[in-house]
Amino acid sequence: MKSAGTKSSASPVGEDVPRIDARQKVTGAAIFADDIQFGDSLLHARIKRSPHPHALVRKIDTTRARALPGVKAVVTGEDFPRHIGLYLQDRYIFCRDRVRYVGDPVAGVAATTPEIAQKALDLIEVDYEVLEPVLDPELGTHAEAAILHPDLGQYVVAGFIFPKPGTNISNHFKIRKGDVVGAWGRCAAIVEHRYRIPHIQHVPIEPHVAVARVEPSGEITLWGSSQSPFAQRNLIAQSMGISQSQMRVVAPLVGGGFGSKAGVSMEALVVAIATKVPGRSVKLLLTREEEFYTAFVRQGLVSHFKMGCDAKGRLLAMENVFYWDGGAYTEYGVNVTRAAGYSSSGPYEVPNIKTDSYCVYTNHPVGGPMRGFGMPEMHAGLEQCIDELALKVGMDAVEFRRINCLKAGSPLPTGSKMHPTGLPVCIDKAADAIGWGKKPAASAPNKRRGKGLALMWKAPAMPPNAGSSAWVELAEDGTVTVGVGGQEIGQGVFTVAAQMAAAALGVPYESVRIASPVDTRYSPYEWQTVASRLTWSMGNAIVNAARDAKRQILGTVGEAWEETPEDLDIVNGVVISYKTEKEIPLKNLAVYGLPKPNDQGWRGGPVIGRGAFMPTYVTGLDPETGQGERSVVHFTTGAQAVELEVDLDTGRIEILRGVSAFDVGKAINPAQVKAQMEGGFVQGMSSALFESLNLKDGVVRSPSFVDYRIATTADAPRDLQSFIVEEAQDDGPWGARGIGEHSMVPTIPAIANAIYDAVGVRLEGPPFTAEKVYLAMLEAGVVK
């Protein structure tokens, strides 16, 4: 921190960020849902769900359920006629005329015990007319496929989403840049591949849970495990036909999200049920089985890649087609499709590009946001093709990437230019750390060792006007409380928020507290805790709020000392003058102000700083070409490399080493940044080697940890290295941008490329299980 008599120039904005151990904890005024005493009046909700992937609802008879003692409410779609959705309002809270996936909510019950509620579900009789389902996204685009949303053309939709009424395509995003057809003739090497990426689940340690209460006045309070309290307030209020001011969402700390608790999923159900029992609180908790198929899942993807380069390895053209399995409702999936479209070149300079990215309705579980937001799925195939193309043109894969990767000023697929990026440095750090070009001997005669590397890029996928706000308030003793609307989901954002507030205001980190829980009645607005945007967007709001508070304090002291604020500063909680070397602590000053001479009154008073941030420069893109001035706020780039061994007898893969290098702009908390890199690598490895929702005829056959495998500490490599690259973001606080999702993006293709390096086989898609790898080796003649 700064000391009296000198001005610091250690950071781009003149303030030093406290560098602390990530284990330090911000202890705000936390109130957790478990502490709220609902008492004996608490009711328990359960949901009657569709057993069919696709069917018309002919009749729902709730007579017997309503007559069951202990049942206080039974609701159906007849009670709630409005649609709900974030980017595309395409679903009812409860189904009305049709069900579109196994698990679609048909009716809800509130009872005095969970057991009675469950028994009541069995008494609800539903008459279905079963219809032919759509179970493949590529086939779902065909003219002969059943239309799952006949009213698609009437849904409310964001202006940057382009549905195709009369089809199952809820968004078609296009890139048309250069002359792709003409470029193929100039290519010395061309590769084409098709990949299939399965659905997977987020599997947060805490399942979805929410409690709702509707007051006799009509005001609604929702307590929920949520990444999106303000979005929930807005969307649920709209669907209920009430003012957002009547809807309050309280969101305690979240036990894991990874995107599954963004937007609205089960929360609207419990609010709807609570409207039927005013004055009573209603709780809905998803079982682990329900978590697997009724909460958001990561969308499946069928991708087709074609790319070519000249004899010197310079990329000339790409033609990509993505069929996203959006599931039954695509309120969030449509934006995943868009993000994949404008990122479809990968982090490479490609002069000629044609991309068609389709979000397709199917009768699978609802696709939604997951860590990486479509980028792991898209990069999984693209980065394997880059390796294949390098091999075909006779060039080292790392050198091929060095030649073609984005640099500052590189043209992007949407027509804008790349901002400064440290991607070339990331490539070198990852390649050097993994020992690229050196191949140590395998650990046993029956094993083969390989190395692989992959790049990535990702922008915050969000509306152009997603905003953040914050407030900073000082207490009598000079301690600071910071109000934010962003959510702590285990990523450490409250720690970083406290660091930034402390640095911008000039107080010790230990004196800063974060007001919690997030409460839409009292907390400042935040769009959502998604898109790896909080350090950048909410961070800017915090810095602005702290500077506003600082301006008030220095104005008061400057007036009292007859000095200009420019000669004053706050250092370690003390106002100092660089001119006269006077000093005064913030204690009492920040609330009571300062007395005027000769008992002639007071100046100053309670200090509350306010700050906001919203990007104002993101422009629209042409719906036919995808071209525009600026499609996103920025990109985070990086590289990962792996070393692994394949057992020739079993096909089992062991990850020996993992290396990550990412350009984060500025690491506000280096320990937490590295933790994100390590955690993302392991989660990406899990999706590469183990995870897949086993879907058959629209039914999830693996809705438990017995059948759904995720990586454990035993699977993680013993050697994980993380490298921080810092090429400052021009509008980030201290140059920072996000890293939460990005470290999961390149892991699948890095592992796939290492498998090929080891045994010379490629699979259509993950998971790269021992059985699939062994059968591929058998088919290729690697083993007999």
Active site residues: 741
Cα separation, 651 vs 613, in Å, equals 51
Considering just the CA atoms, what is the radius of gyration of the chain in Å? 28
Rounded Cα gap, residues 658 and 666, in angstroms: 22
Helix (H, G, I), strand (E, B) or coil at 311: coil
Q: 343: helix, coil or strand? A: coil
* DSSP code string of 574-612: EEEETTT--EEESTTHHHH-EEPGGG--EE----EEEEE
Q: Residue 552 is inside which H or E element, if any?
A: helix 537-561
Distance, CA of 751 to CA of 461 (rounded, Å): 26
Helix (H) or strand (E) holding 46: strand 43-49
CA distance 163 to 143: 15
Question: Amino acid identity of 374?
Answer: G
Could you say which DSSP state residue 425 is in? H
Helix residue spans in 108-192 (DSSP H): 114-123, 137-140, 180-184
Distance CA 40, CA 704 (A): 32
- Give the CA distances from residue 117 to residues 66, 107, 112, 125, in Å, rounded to whole numbers and listed in that order: 10, 12, 8, 15
Relative to beta strand 636-647, strand 447-458 is: antiparallel
Alpha carbons 42 and 284: distance in angstroms, whole number: 11
Q: Where are the alpha helices (DSSP H) in 353-422?
A: 375-393, 397-404
Looking from the CA of 143 toward its CB, the CA atoms found within 13 Å total 0
Among residues 282, 270, 263, 278, the alpha carbon closest in space to that of 219 is found at 278
Q: Using CA of residue 131, residue 133, residue 134, residue 139, what is the dihedral sign?
A: negative
Q: Identify whether the C-beta of residue 537 lies closer than 8 Å to the C-beta of residue 544.
A: no
Dihedral class, residue 394 (left if φ above 0, else alpha if ψ from -120 to 50, else beta): left
Q: Which two tokens stand for residue 669?
A: 């908390």
Instruction: Determine the distance from the C-alpha atom of residue 388 to the mean position of all C-alpha atoms in its chain, rounded to a whole number.
Output: 30
Determine the Cα angle at 57 with ends 55 and 60, to 5°: 145
Nearest residue to 72 via CA among 42, 93, 48: 42
Q: Please give the structure tokens belonging to residue 779.
A: 């088919």
